[in-house]
Amino acid sequence: MKRWFALSAIGLDRPGIVADLAELIYECDCNLEDSSMTILGSEFAVLLLLSGQGPDVERRLSAGCKRLEWEKRLTVFFRPLEGDPFARAPGRHMVPMACEVNGVDKAGIVARIARTLADHGVNITALKTQSRPGPETGTPMFTMRVEMGVPAELDRRVLCERLERVAADLRVDLLLSDPGPA
């Protein structure tokens, strides 16, 4: 029977981390189903979705993760999942949208926008933030891009008005749009 697992790892960025993880997956007779990887500061972070079969697949993955932690100095989290993660649960229809926020960096931007989205039943599917010094003044400038699923029954004008109030409060620019290509 096919089993599913989620694995995350973080460690000081260096060449070979992806190879180490891919080899572990291969050695455990598992298949890499989905992944997301990024570098945050000097750290490499990865989320993996794996599938595998066999009575001892979980034990082999667990042992392999511990070995990677010891030998490669990665922090690895691993857990089995219940059922097929790609199976669609019956429920609300979600419409894809994107939100971009730009402005002077300050505490609370992500928290306030994320809470507003959650309060309207919006599911954040991807979020990327970045803070960089402004070109002329060096003032930290913040950019956030959110990809999300908006409930089809939600009045988008209500969501937009609420987000615009939060953006005005934070003194940042906000733009809602269709997500377009990644």
Q: What are the pLDDT digits (tens) for 88-132?
A: 666 668 899 999 999 999 999 999 999 999 999 999 999 999 999
Q: What is the pLDDT of residues 34-68, one digit of tens each?
A: 999 999 999 999 999 999 998 899 999 999 999 99
Between CA 86 and CA 48 the distance in angstroms is: 14
* pTM for this entry: 0.81
- The helix/strand count (H/E) of the chain reads as 4, 8
Rg (CA), the chain: 20
Q: Which residues pair with 177 in a beta bridge?
A: 98
Q: What's residue 60's pLDDT?
A: 95
Between CA 47 and CA 157 the distance in angstroms is: 34
The CATH number assigned to the domain with range 3-81 reads 3.30.70.260
What is the chain's mean pLDDT, rounded?
Answer: 92
Structure confidence at residue 180 as a pLDDT band (50, 70, 90): low
Between CA 182 and CA 180 the distance in angstroms is: 7
| Strand blocks (E) in the chain | 3-12, 30-40, 43-52, 75-81, 94-104, 123-133, 140-151, 173-177
Between CA 151 and CA 94 the distance in angstroms is: 4
The CATH number assigned to the domain with range 94-177 reads 3.30.70.260
Domain borders along the chain are 3-81, 94-177
Between CA 23 and CA 13 the distance in angstroms is: 18
Do 3-81 and 94-177 show the same overall fold?
Answer: yes
Q: What is the pLDDT of residues 75-85, one digit of tens each?
A: 999 999 998 88
